[in-house]
Structure 1
Amino acid sequence: MEIRQLHYFLMLCKELHFSEAAHKLGISQPTLSQQIRVLEDEVGVPLFDRMGKKTVQTEAGAILEHYARQMMQQMENAKRAIADLTHLNTGHLRVAVLPSDLDYRLTSLLVEFHKEFPNTQVQIIPSIDIVNQVLNNEVDIGVGLAIEPDSRLNRIAFYTETYRLYVHEQHSLASRELIKPHELQRIPFVMYPNGFYGRELINEWCKEHAIELKILMETGSVTSLFQLVRERIGATIQPSQLIDSFQSLGLRAVAIEHPPSRDLEMYYRNDKYLSAAARTFMKRMENSF
C-alpha cells in the first residue's frame, strides 16, 4: 500500500466520481481505476460499488478512509516536525477567525509575529464556520466563540470579552459612566446584519432583558459601523476593546449594566502537529488579549 494510492483513494472518497477525482488529481481515469483495483486487491475486498455511473463507498471503504486520513495526517505531522527541527521556519500558518471585529485587532500581533518568523506565510481567514474548517484541515487554528467539548479538538480559553455602547463624543449619553439596558430602546442603532456572530449575541441579550433595539442601518464591517456612529446616524454595541483602535474617530464607549459578553477560545485538531510558529502565534494571542 503506497502513499500515492491512499492519496488517490481519498480523492475518490471525496468526489465519488472517477472522472472528477482523476481530473482533480491530474491523472487519467484509467490510471485512477487501475490504482484503486490494486488497492482493492491488496485489502481483499471492494472499496467502492460501481452502479452504472454512480460510485458508492462500501463499508470497507469507509473503514479504510478513516485510517487513511489518520496516516496522511501523521505524514504531514512528520514533515512539519522535521521542518521545525531544521529551523527553516518556512511553510504556512492558516488561522480562521471571527469576521469583522476580531480579525481587525490582529494587525499588531501579526507585525510582531512576522519579526520572529519572517519566512512563514500567514493567512488570516474570516469565517463563520471555524470549527468545521479546523476539523476538515482547511486551517491550522481556529479562533472564535467557546464551543461544546469535542473529543477531536484541543481547546484553549483565552479571553472573556464584554460589550459597550459606542456613541459620538457629543451624544447626550457620551458623559454617562453606565447605562441600563432599558434605556437603549430610546436611541437609534447601526449594527451587523442578522446572521453575524456579533448581532446574534446582541439579539439573544436583548431577549434576556426583554428589550428591542431600533436598528436604522446594518453593515458587515466594524469600520463602517464606527464611521456611521461618527456621522451621528446611530449608536452601536461592540466589544469593549475596540475603543483602542477607533478612539481617533471621536467616539465614546459607555459601560452597559449586565452587558453582553462572549467567551473566546482557540482550537485545533488533537491529532495535528503544531509547528513552532503555530505555538508562538497562540501564545501571542493569549498575551495580546
Structure 2
Amino acid sequence: MPKTDTILSTKSLHYFLQLIDTMNYTQAAQILGITQPALTQQIKKIEHAIGTPLFGQMGKKLYLTEAGKQLQTGAIKLLGTINSVVNDIQEFTQADKGNISIGVLDSVDSEVLRKFLVKFNQKSPDITVNVCYFNRKDLWYNLDNNLIDLALIYVPDNMKKSQVNLQNQYDYMKVCEDRLTILTHDKKAKAGKSYPVSEFIDRQWVAYPDNFYLTQIMREKFGSKMNAKNGMKVPLSFSSTKQLLDTAEETEYDTFINNSYYQLHKNDINLTPIYLKDDTKFSTSVIYRKGKKDVPRIERFLAEFKKFLDE
C-alpha cells in the first residue's frame, strides 16, 4: 500500500488545488513560486500514490478526471478542517501573530484595503495576510467552507443565494456606501446629474462580464431591453476596471463602474460621470462568519480597519 501520508501533505494538496484553479502548469507554478518541473513532479507523486491519473488532456487543455474530482472534494474538506483546527488553536494565542486570509470579489475596488494593509503590516508584522480574488460563486464557497476568514464584497448581493442569511450566519462591517456611476461620451450630459434609462437605450457599452454585480444591476434597470435590438449593446467586456476604462476612453463606448472607484481615480478619467434615476444603492462590506471576531488577530484586524476608515 502506497505511503499516502508522506505524499498527500497539505502542501501537495495546495499545489493540486492551485493547478485546478488555473488548469495551466506554468501559471500555477508562477503563483506558487516554484518551477514548473517541481509542480509536475508533485502532481505525478500524488497520482502514483493514488494509482490513477488526476488530470487528462484534450489538445492543449487540461481537464479533471473522475479521480481528480473526488480528490478535489476531499482536499477542500481536508484543508478546510485543518484551517479550522488551526484557527481554533490560534484563538487562544496572542492577537499579534497568525494568518488572516481575505477573499475579494473581483469587481470590487480594493485600493482602500491595500493601503490599509500596508499600515497594518507595519503595526503587526507577525500577522501574515493573504489576499485572493474570486468571482462571486467561488468567494461564497470559500467563505462558507472556512477557506477564507474575511470577504470584501458588495452588499446587498443579488446572487441567487437564498440560503445565506447575513443576520443568522454572518456579521459584516461596512467599508463604504456606493452606487453605480455611468461614464459617458455624451456631450449633452451634465456631470453629477441623474437620467432615466431611456436616455441610454441606443448607446453602446464596454462593460464587466454578465456575472458581475454591476452588470446585473444594469440588466435589472434595462430589463428585457438588455438584449433587444434597440437595447443595451455591449460589443466588449472586461473583468479589469482599468481595461474597461481605457477601452471606453479609446472608443465611443460608454461604461459604468462603482462610484468609490471613480472618486479615487476621477483625476485620471476623462469621461462625464452621471447616474441612473432611482438607481440601486449598495455598500462595499467586509463579511465574516459569526465567531470569527472571537479570534484575537481578526478582532484586532477589524478594529484597526474600522479606525483606518473613520480617519
- TM-score if structure 1 supplies the norm length? 0.65
* 1:76-91 → structure 2 map (5 Å cutoff): 76-84=87-95, 89-91=96-98
> Match for residue 150 of structure 2?
141
SS in 2 for 1:82: coil
Q: Give the drift of 1:204.
A: 2.3
1:198 matched to 2:218: no
Contact 2:94 2:297 in 1 (8 A): no
User: Amino acid of the residue matched to residue 282 of structure 1?
Assistant: L
Q: Distance in 1 between matches of 2:274 and 2:132?
A: 31
Q: Residue 274 and residue 236 in structure 1: after superposition, are their counterparts in 2 closer, same or farther (change >3 A)?
A: farther
Structure 1 gaps, min length 5: 1-17, 27-52, 54-64
> Match for residue 184 of structure 2?
167
**C-alpha deviations, 1:53-76, integer Å up to 9, x for none?**
9xxxxxxxxxxx9xx95x984663
> Match for residue 261 of structure 1?
281
**C-alpha deviations, 1:212-270, integer Å up to 9, x for none?**
31212111100111112222431112211111222123233212211133344433233
Moved more, 186-195 or 137-146: 137-146
Q: Distance in 2 between matches of 1:233 and 1:284?
A: 43
Q: Give the drift of 1:198.
A: 2.5
> Match for residue 235 of structure 2?
216
Contact 2:196 2:277 in 1 (8 A): yes
Contact 1:93 1:120 in 2 (8 A): yes
1:228 matched to 2:247: yes
Q: Residue 250 and residue 74 in structure 1: after superposition, are their counterparts in 2 closer, same or farther (change >3 A)?
A: same
Q: Give the drift of 1:21.
A: 6.7
1:238 matched to 2:257: yes
Q: Distance in 2 between matches of 1:263 and 1:177?
A: 21
SS in 2 for 1:133: helix
Q: Residue 179 and residue 283 in structure 1: after superposition, are their counterparts in 2 closer, same or farther (change >3 A)?
A: farther
Q: Distance in 1 between matches of 2:167 and 2:277?
A: 37
Q: Residue 240 and residue 217 in structure 1: after superposition, are their counterparts in 2 closer, same or farther (change >3 A)?
A: same
Report percent identity of matched pairs: 14
Q: Distance in 1 between matches of 2:282 and 2:242?
A: 20
Aligned residues: 234
Q: Residue 141 and residue 274 in structure 1: after superposition, are their counterparts in 2 closer, same or farther (change >3 A)?
A: farther
Contact 2:206 2:236 in 1 (8 A): yes
* 1:19-168 → structure 2 map (5 Å cutoff): 23-25=7-9, 73=84, 76-84=87-95, 89-128=96-135, 129-144=138-153, 145-146=155-156, 148-149=164-165, 153-158=169-174, 159-168=176-185
> Match for residue 42 of structure 2?
none
SS in 1 for 2:132: strand
SS in 2 for 1:268: strand
Q: Residue 75 and residue 163 in structure 1: after superposition, are their counterparts in 2 closer, same or farther (change >3 A)?
A: closer
- TM-score if structure 2 supplies the norm length? 0.61
Q: Give the drift of 1:176.
A: 6.2
SS in 2 for 1:125: strand
Structure 2 gaps, min length 5: 11-66, 68-76, 158-163
Q: Give the drift of 1:193.
A: 1.4
Contact 1:181 1:209 in 2 (8 A): no
> Match for residue 188 of structure 1?
204
Q: Give the drift of 1:272.
A: 4.1
Contact 1:77 1:272 in 2 (8 A): no
Q: Residue 246 and residue 263 in structure 1: after superposition, are their counterparts in 2 closer, same or farther (change >3 A)?
A: closer
Contact 2:93 2:296 in 1 (8 A): no
| RMSD, matched Cα | 4.0
User: Amino acid of the residue matched to residue 256 of structure 2?
Assistant: I
